[in-house]
Chains A and B, each alone.
Chain A
């Protein structure tokens, strides 16, 4: 009887985990959308809902998600960023976001600073995660 109860509970937790994962995706998608809207027109969204509230929501989803993931022994394959199909989308998104924040610069200055910033980010990523892998 008690074994059955545990099995049902675990599945319920799995269900909650999956829903939290979906909620996290939606919250992150919303956060990215707000960042885009804010970079196009500062104050457009944050005058209605502050970024802090969105960040608190994300953290509130993340905490039980991590807790459940750890207790349910859910693991993921390590993603190879170089082979990730979504990488070009993230690079393009970052490029547009950084470029947009430098609109007051001339086109060439903007282009060079944006590329340099992305390059620095890439180096930092390599430095941190290569060291971890070793």
Chain B
């Protein structure tokens, strides 16, 4: 081994000690390397929640709820047949999860209770909402009857004749040709019979600035690229400054489409409803299914219209406006007010997905694995079992939902979950394969 300090000469009596100490130092360094390699190839994440101390800062599982009340079980009390739901969002790929439930001193045994696990995203678990229609401001025409429409205040308003369209100055190219069946997802509104006033949500471009008409005022988009995340460039009617005399500009700004990923300097944000959510770190970004290519670089002026929110971590659900696509059926969904609204027509999907949707799997919500709790050998209050996760590796998502139905009235003290990857050559090859795939997909 090469010596960096040749000029520092030790007496013979210390030479041997130095060689031994140096060997120990190198072994210690080797141990650190092996430890880090082990952590990378066979990751372990331990998460717990104390039901008798729900506000404890050491709780790193999401607060559990019982399905009967959709609320936290006070003091960990469960009635017979109550189903306890808990969500864990570890980052990484795991082969198994060990679940341990500790009952209270006076609680009854939960031996042989079944525990189920499924994998998806938290927001993708939201209940199904009403199908979503075309977004406000969209111009539509049907190929079959040649009718023209605008989506205004959520309603589909038909232009009585083409003269009105010409007088308003709507560009012909702006009308998206759809099937009559695509229109059923928007409620029908009053027909537009004259050209006195523009319908709400009409889009304008004045001096290269884009506006949307709302409540008689022109709301400016913060930038052209913000406008383009919502609509196509042709959708706006070109006007000049005189137009402000009829429709004054509003001070309220419009931003990027909800759910858009933006970056400024080295920070990445998800923007939604004029709020910006700073993504905690690259691991969170990847774990939440986002695509690096979807990030739009923006400037200080563009970000300034957004109100800063707390950091977006892997424990948070995707915000409103996030679009999911089921990897099996290609069915799209949009997150809105804690519901998952399906987008049932391709032309509607096109108007929403200006950026790639997050890949999810409907099957993953239902299909999972299960195990039966058994009393631990030396702890009569602890019940544990192992849930294999191999079958769920194909389901995208960072959210593991644990479901346990209590066979008796009981109280629980603690829920613990340990996600791990057993040390086997096969798991090592799987981990290496994943690392290789990530490098290739960079």
Contacts and interface: CB of A to CB of B under 8 A. Distances in A.
A19 B282 contact: no
Contact of A19 (B22, B32, B438): B22
10 contacts: A11-B11, A15-B21, A18-B5, A19-B21, A19-B22, A21-B4, A22-B4, A40-B439, A44-B40, A74-B5
Given A41-B435, A43-B282, A45-B36, A19 B442 contact: no
B17 A15 contact: yes
B190 interface: no
Interface residues of B, number: 28
Interface string A89-104: 0000000000000010
A45 B439 CA distance: 14
A43 B442 contact: no
A42 B40 contact: no
A103 B442 contact: yes
Interface string A34-50: 00000011111101110
Contact of A22 (B25, B36, B442): B25
Nearest to A40: B439
B29 A30 contact: yes
Contacts of B32: 30
A26 B26 contact: yes
Interface string B411-422: 000000000000
A119 interface: no
Contacts of B4: 21-22, 25
Nearest to B21: A19
Given A15-B17, A25-B4, A47 B91 contact: yes
Interface residues of A, number: 26
Nearest to A18: B5
Given A43-B283, A45-B36, A18 B8 contact: yes
B243 interface: no
B8 A19 contact: no
A58 interface: no
B16 to A, nearest CB: 11
Contacts of A14: 8, 10, 14
A41 B21 contact: no
A44 B37 CA distance: 10
Q: For the complex, would chain B's binding face be called helix, strand, loop or mixed by DSSP majority? A: helix
B26 A44 contact: no
A23 interface: yes
Contacts of A103: 442
Interface string B34-56: 00100110000000000000000
Interface string A1-31: 0000000000110110111011101100010
Interface string B1-22: 0001101101100100110011
Contact of A17 (B8, B29, B438): B8
Contacts of A25: 4
A19 B21 CA distance: 8
B25 A19 contact: yes
A47 B283 contact: yes
Given A26-B25, A30-B29, A47-B91, A19 B281 contact: no
Interface of A: 11-12, 14-15, 17-19, 21-23, 25-26, 30, 40-45, 47-49, 72, 74, 76, 103
Contacts of A48: 36, 39-40
Nearest to B26: A26
Contacts of A19: 18, 21-22, 25
Given A19-B22, A19-B25, A44-B40, A11 B14 contact: yes
Nearest to A12: B14
A127 to B, nearest CB: 28
Given A40-B439, A49-B36, A26 B281 contact: no
A114 to B, nearest CB: 17
Nearest to A7: B11
Contacts of B283: 43, 47
A47 B282 CA distance: 9
Contacts of A41: 435, 438-439, 442
B10 A18 contact: yes
Contact of B281 (A40, A43, A49, A76): A43
Contacts of A47: 91, 283
Nearest to A29: B29
A30 B25 CA distance: 13
Interface string B60-86: 000000000000000000000000000
Contacts of A43: 281-283, 286
B118 to A, nearest CB: 25
A10 to B, nearest CB: 10
Contacts of A26: 25-26, 29
Contacts of B18: 15, 18-19
B265 to A, nearest CB: 16
Contacts of A18: 5, 8, 10, 18, 22
